[in-house]
Amino acid sequence: MDWAAWHDDYDDPESALSRRLAEVQGVVRAALDRAPDGPLTALSMCAGQGRDLIGVLATHPRGHDVRARLVELDPRSTAVAEANARAAGLDGVEIVQADAGLMRHYRDLAPADLVLACGVFGNVTDADVLRTVEACAQLCREGGTVVWTRHRRPPDLVPVIRDWFSARGFELVHGGESGVGAHRLVHPPKPLTSADRIFSFVAEKQLRVS
């Protein structure tokens, strides 16, 4: 996958990716609106160019309250994210070029007020989706929000993902038909485990048989 080219659809306001971005950003704004006063932390897995989070922090009144870590493996995407964060004056945003499927990149900021797993669930096996949901229950603060995305193509896993979050102490706060979801943790986070690997991206043909 050429991830730099994949981002091009964001610049087309009529594209499905552009519409999804607008919905994700709206959910992130709502989470910041209801966040408690004081410093906040955010984690973003497979952050790409950081548009989901940086685009909101750049204009939101709470933007400079947030210490964020965005983890992305593609160097071209991280370069764009770094440039955008610096241009917006977001000194609290850290861009990490690394494998976002490893828990080691998030533990020291957990539990976080906001956890983003956008663009993850459509590229990993169902077992890794569940493993990521379980990781979110460790990485998210009580009262914090997890924002995630998943396509609605058959087999549609979105209802199952919602159930997996609910079974781990989350309540649904956004469940748009587009496949953008958000859950708020209503119990204390689960203890951080020693396991490191959360997920691995796999080829599309592997997803079809998983």
Domains of the chain by start residue, with CATH: 3-209 (3.40.50.150)
pLDDT at 191 over 90: yes
Condensed to tens digits (0 to 9), the pLDDT of residues 70-126 reads: 999 999 999 999 999 999 999 999 999 999 999 999 999 999 999 999 999 999 999
Return the DSSP state at 169: T
pLDDT in tens, 126-140: 999 999 999 999 999
> For residues 132 and 198, is the Cβ–Cβ distance under 8 A?
yes
Task: Collect all residues with Cβ–Cβ distance below 8 Å to 25 and sequence separation of at least 6.
Answer: 51, 52, 55, 56
CA 72, CA 54: separation in Å to the nearest integer? 14
Which of helix, strand or coil describes residue 171?
Answer: strand
pTM exceeds 0.85 for this model:
yes
